[in-house]
Amino acid sequence: MGTGATLSHIGRPAEPDKRTLRREFLAVRNTLTADDVREAAAALAERALELPELERARTVAAYVSVGTEPGTLALLDTLRARGVRVLLPALLPDNDLDWGAYAGEGSLARVQHGGRMALFEPAGERLGPDAVTTADVVLLPGLAVDARGMRLGRGGGSYDRVLTRLEQAGARPALVVLLYDSEVVGRVPAEEHDQPVHAVVTPSGVRRFGADVPH
């Protein structure tokens, strides 16, 4: 399947900047077929559901994948069927995130934010940006993660705000990024404010970083 493509230069001393890396990772994702994405999503859900942190979670903050992102809907539906409260983000005009509860695929609204890719957001009640601080696990989107657990995001800053909000609230959820196998790399550029995740889930398994995730 197409998820095996790699970016062999990553991790060498002369690191590309974040913008260049984002373009390259997105280009690889854009080579994936619908079958590739569907197959990877099923495996990703299976691997993620093996995480003890998700097994015992009462509230999980997640997101709805779009395009060729690693698929999340199968995972969201299984968590909801287990009785887990699943929170999904809604993008605000300033790039911050509000949150709403997931009530099944039929509860999602397709929202176009300017010239960006349309997002699927919860159509029901908005719970406020601070709702994420109640989560036991936060599932993060990304384009890559490195051996330190540093995540390369899309550059909008929305999840940087989420992580800052969690820190300010004293909340310590497990931070887990969902990626394809080829997106776990040696090193990505990191800035002082960037925070590492605790684990990455890919279709082939789970990798943890540093200390154990919070309990």
Known binding positions for substrate: 64, 69
Q: Known binding site: residues? A: 18-22, 64, 69, 151-159
Separation between Cα atoms, residue 129 and residue 168, nearest integer Å = 13
Residue numbering of the annotated binding site for ATP: 18-22, 151-159
Extended beta strands in the chain, E state: 59-61, 85-91, 97-101, 108-111, 119-122, 137-140, 144-145, 151-152, 174-178, 199-202, 205-208
Q: Which residue has the tokens 């890559």?
A: 144
Give the 3-state secondary structure of residue 48: helix
